[in-house]
Amino acid sequence: MHKRNIVALILIIISLICLYPGLTRDILNIHIGAQIPLLGEFELYDRTQSVISGIKLLYENDNALVASLILLFSVIVPVAKAILLCLVLAFKNWKWRTRVYQFVALIGKWSMADVFVVGMFLMYLATASEENITSSIMEGFYYFAAYCIISVAAIQVMTLKDITATPGVKSTDPIQ
C-alpha cells in the first residue's frame, strides 16, 4: 500500500473514533434565565443536547423531515463515506475503485457536516451575546469538528496512483 494511503487509512480510523463521541456526547447547552427584581433569578429553559438526542427529540416532536436530514448527513453519510474509502483502499484491482472514490469525494463536498459545525458555532456566538441567554459549546462539538477536518484530510491525502506500475507506462487511473 502506498504511504499516502496508509496515512489516509489512519486518518479515516481516527475520524471515525472522533465521530462517535461527536454524535453521542453533548454538543451544546443553552440556558435562559430571567432576573426579576425582589424575586431573584429564575431558570426558564436549560437544555443540553447531543446530535443523537437531538434527532430523537425532533422525531418525538413530529419534525421527522429535519430529524431525517440530520440523521442522513450527520450519521449515515459519514459512516458510508468511511466504509467506501476503506473499500477503495482495500481492493486495488476493483473495477469500481475510481468511481467510488469520485463518488465519495462528491458526497464529501455536499455533506452537511461542515455546515452543521459552522451553524452550531454561529448559534453559540449569537446566544452568547444576549444577557439572559447563555450557551456553552460542549465536548461533543469539538469531537464532531475534529471528525469533519480529519475526514476531509483523509480524502486529500489518499491517492489511487498505482506505484507498482511499469516504468514508462502511463497509468490509466484518472486520479493521480
For 75-103, the pLDDT digits (tens) are: 888 899 999 999 988 888 878 888 888 88
Task: Give the pLDDT confidence of 104-143 residue by residue, as tens digits.
Answer: 888 776 665 656 665 666 666 666 566 777 778 899 989 9
Q: How far apart are CA 79 and CA 174, in angstroms?
A: 26
Element (H, E) at 122: helix 113-128
CA distance 176 to 171: 9
Strand-pair category, 133-137 with 40-50:
unpaired
pTM: 0.77
Rounded CA gap, 115 and 145, in Å?
10
Alpha helices for the chain (secondary structure H): 3-24, 51-60, 64-71, 77-90, 97-110, 113-128, 139-157
